Structure 1
Amino acid sequence: MNQKTNVCHAENTSNQTPVMLVTGSARRIGAAIVKAAHSQGYRVIIHCHRSEQDSDNLANQLNDIRANSAKVIVADLTIVNDETALDSLVKNIIESFGQLDVLVHNASRFYPSPLGSIDRAQWDELFLTNAKAPLLLSQALLPYLKQRQGCIVSLLDIHAHDRPFSNYTVYNMAKAAHRMMVQSLALEMAPEVRVNGVAPGVNILPDPTSDQAIDNEQQQNIIDAIPMRRIGQPDEIAHSVLYLVQANYVTGEIITIDGGRSLTLAGSQF
């Protein structure tokens, strides 16, 4: 785990501009959230594990717009299994700008685990990124969020509630746990800290070079099943995250952003 500072080495602790940390924010939806927050005046902490070059590029781009407004934290989320290492990560996060106002849980692993082939490694990885790390990171950062009367926003999934993906049992279970975390922490952290979630449908397609890639026919089948007749955009998720950050009387809520897909979804498919 390490921290990168991309423009200025000295910190201005008197600067009360709000600070947002987005996990897994080097690319795709996470990067869209970072850019949207930055455009509204937030200072941003970009977290990544392996996408360090993408994170640096994004931070440099934002710092060119506004100096000393974006920093990068590099950490494997397995760090939550080591209390000392987690404490060190929290220290680096807070030292980035001297405060934390918003924590966005975006980092996630997503892949199938068909019954008969489920193993402990799948269980550990999917539950770590989708449930365990969000909980323990929220707990560790709670004192700092309370100081700022801040909030947490979690990226969930429409399949985390009542409509599971077939062959994705471990992922479904992990995201369902994360959903319950949002509602549970909303009770426990109130009134100082609000906790909400955004449940995307098909708002971004898997990387075509990844093990989750889908072919053109599958993509068209997905589009045909969405009432809005298109794939969602990362910016549309970012818009909803920013709404929840600014909605001071909303907590424990989960907003579905799926173009109406939930209305047609029978489960067991994209």
Structure 2
Amino acid sequence: MSTLFDLNTKQSSKDSITQANPSPVILVTGGAKRIGAQIIKSAHANGYSVIVHYHQSQAQANELVDVLNSIRANSAAAIQASLDIINNPPALQSFAQQVINIFGRLDALVHNASRFYPSPIGQITHSTWNELFLTNAKAPLMLSQAFLPYLKDANGCIVSILDIHANAKPFNRYTVYNMAKSAHQMMVQSLAIELAPNIRVNGVAPGVNVFPEADSDQAISKPLQSKIVASVPLKKEGTPIDIAQTVIFLLTAKYITGQIIAVDGGRSLTLQGGDAG
């Protein structure tokens, strides 16, 4: 990932959106596509002002912001940054401040950005370790810390998108990813205790809700996809909407913290680890 800090924001107009924003505000990392984009859309439909974080998906982020602002003016913005800003404290502080400057507050932080690809033993490199742990463990923790005072002021919440494989059900040949997601899961449980009673922290663990894009380095073969879907008790692939609905529930569930909800069609009940369980 780039070591450069590069931040751009897009709003519906050149004017700054007032800081006296009456709507709750949510920031979703990796919010331009797929599950992240659906969380953004669902939160917006539920009255949130939304901030779409993206790294490289500028066109998708801007298109999403334009659509949402056409529905409700000055309700959506996009912000660009590589997650490795967490390794540069001044850059991270600047990012946090620019996020707050968009709407003047932050009520919810959703950790969705992630890298996912195999790391078979014998081929694991420091680069693989650093990237997978950065996106799946270190960035969620450091971003949570950076936004802590704003979330505390709002009595807000943090929701992490995890993985059913993080809970002692490792996905074969994905050792580093499994380790990183397990660390992220422990972050959720640890912060739920430490940040109570002011901030609630929960997680959503997808199962087979959206496969990686076929032309990406995260792709899973069609035969393996079919095998995985066949292992799901509900016998079908879930959707990003299933994840987004659960996130929205957790945003409003005032007496739930430290919980991880599996949204997996029952797969975690029969999953034993390996390729398809």
Give the TM bin, normalised by the shorter chain: over 0.9
Q: What TM-score, normalized by structure 2, do the two folds share?
A: 0.96
Equivalent residue number for residue 207 of structure 2: 201
State the distance in 1 between where 2:138 and 2:151 align: 19
Query: Following superposition of structure 1 onto structure 2, how do residues 211-222 of structure 1 map, counting pairs within 5 Å?
Result: 211-222=217-228
Partner of 2:188: 182
- Paired with 1:29 and 1:267, the residues of 2 have a C-alpha distance of 23
Q: Does 1:68 align with 2:74?
A: yes
Deviations 1:140-180 (A, max 9, x none): 10000000000000000000011001111110110000000
Residue 76 of structure 1, CA deviation: 0.1
1:107-256, aligned counterparts within 5 Å? 107-256=113-262
Distance in 1, matches of 2:16 and 2:127, equals 42
1:24/1:30 contact within 8 Å kept = yes
C-alpha distance in 1 between matches for 2:184 and 2:245: 21
Answer yes or no: is the 8 Å Cα contact 1:185–1:195 preserved in 2.
yes
Structure 2 residue corresponding to 1:41, chosen from 36, 41, 47: 47
Contact 1:196/1:253 (8 A) holds in 2: yes
Superposed CA offset, 1:65-123 (max 9, x none): 01111000100000000000000000110001000000000000001111111110011
2:10 touches 2:62 (CA, 8 Å); kept in 1? no
Q: Within the alignment, does 1:88 sit opposite 2:94 as a pair?
A: yes
- The separation in 2 between residues aligned to 1:68 and 1:163, in whole angstroms, is 43
2:265 aligned residue? 259
Question: Is contact 1:37-1:242 (8 Å) kept?
Answer: yes
Structure 1's consecutive aligned runs of 4 or more residues displaced over 3 angstroms after TM superposition are none
Partner SS for 2:63: helix
How big is the shift at 1:258? 0.3
In 2: Cα distance, 1:15 partner to 1:47 partner: 19
Shift of 1:215: 3.3
Equivalent residue for 1:58, pick from 64, 69, 87: 64
Alignment check: 8 A CA contact 1:3 1:92 kept: no
Q: CA deviation at 1:126?
A: 0.4
Deviation at 1:11, TM superposition (A): 2.2
- For the pair 1:79 / 2:85, whether they are aligned, the reply is yes
After TM superposition, give the deviation of residue 208 of structure 1 in Å: 1.1
* Ranges in structure 1 where 5+ consecutive residues have no aligned partner: none
Q: Which amino acid aligns with 2:10?
A: T
The letter of the residue matching 1:259 is G
CA deviation after TM superposition for structure 1 residue 211, in Å: 1.9
Give the one of 102, 105, 123 matched to 1:99.
Answer: 105
- Alignment gaps of 5+ in structure 2: 1-5
101-110 vs 203-212, greater mean Cα deviation: 203-212
**SS of equivalent residue, structure 1 residue 41:** coil
**Residue 11 of structure 2: aligned partner:** 6
One-letter code of the match for 1:155? I
TM-score by length of 1: 0.98
**SS of 1:2's equivalent?**
coil
Distance in 2 (CA, whole Å) between partners of 1:157 and 1:84 is 31
